[in-house]
Structure 1
Amino acid sequence: MITEIQQNSQFTLMQPAQSTAELVNGVGDNRPTQIRIRIRVSQKYYHEPVISHLISEYSLNVNVNAALLAANTPTDGWFDLELRGTNKQIQRALIYLNQLNVQIWSQSTDPEEENW
């Protein structure tokens, strides 16, 4: 469901599943799981509630482990997040981030490896 794009230290740039069929046919969609990701949010989304949207629209528990975001600067924001929910919820949230052209970096390209 997630494909590896390129390496960045211990994190890998990832691309979430794009089709609804992949989400529906996924294994263990209703089991609780978690994944740790780092995202780079473009400055054009500074005034958008991107992380809040992950909670309200996808019913995820989101823990912000670290963040780099400066007001009134021409740089992107970086967030180190832990997402908790079902595999289906996480995949849908990753698709949402991908649609915003948010770069997503993960320690694993398989959410099943990060189960709790």
Structure 2
Amino acid sequence: MASDNTLTHKRIRVRIPKDYHQEPVISRLVSEYGLTVNITAAILGANAVGDGWFDLELQGTDEQIQSGLTYLHNLELEVWDDTKKGDW
């Protein structure tokens, strides 16, 4: 039986619209939700003109990860779960 403190990993891709470029979205996943965030890939518009795309690996408890995902969804960011699919 897994304990509630078991760390899990989840791979996601998130789109950060240009309107959010000044918001510390990824930093908040760490500071407010206690997640370890590894940026595995990123595409940013030149001079922050367009949207940004980040491939992230999240590590934390199931509760921390779900809270972080809820935060991203509440910001109305597009999030794709890649944990089960493998590579993009």
Place the TM-score, normalised by the shorter chain, in its bin: 0.7 to 0.9
Distance verdict in 2 for CA 1:56–1:101, change over 3 Å: same
Q: CA deviation at 1:65?
A: 0.4
Alignment of 1:22-37 (within 5 A): 29-37=4-12
Gaps of 5+ in 2: none
Q: Does 1:100 align with 2:72?
A: no
Gaps of 5+ in 1: 1-26, 110-116
Equivalence for 1:54: 29
- Contact kept? 1:28, 1:87, Cα under 8 Å: no
Equivalence for 1:112: none
Query: What percentage of aligned pairs have identical amino acids?
Result: 50
| 1:83 corresponds to which of 58, 76, 81 | 58
Equivalence for 1:44: 19
Secondary structure at the aligned position of 1:58 is classed as coil
| 1:53-102 deviations in Å (ceiling 9; x for gaps) | 000000110000011112241x2110000000000000000000001111
Moved over 6 A (4+): none
> 2-side partners of 1:37 and 1:99: how far apart?
16
> 1-side partners of 2:29 and 2:42: how far apart?
16
> 2-side partners of 1:29 and 1:104: how far apart?
25
Aligned length: 82
Structure 1 length normalisation: TM-score?
A: 0.65
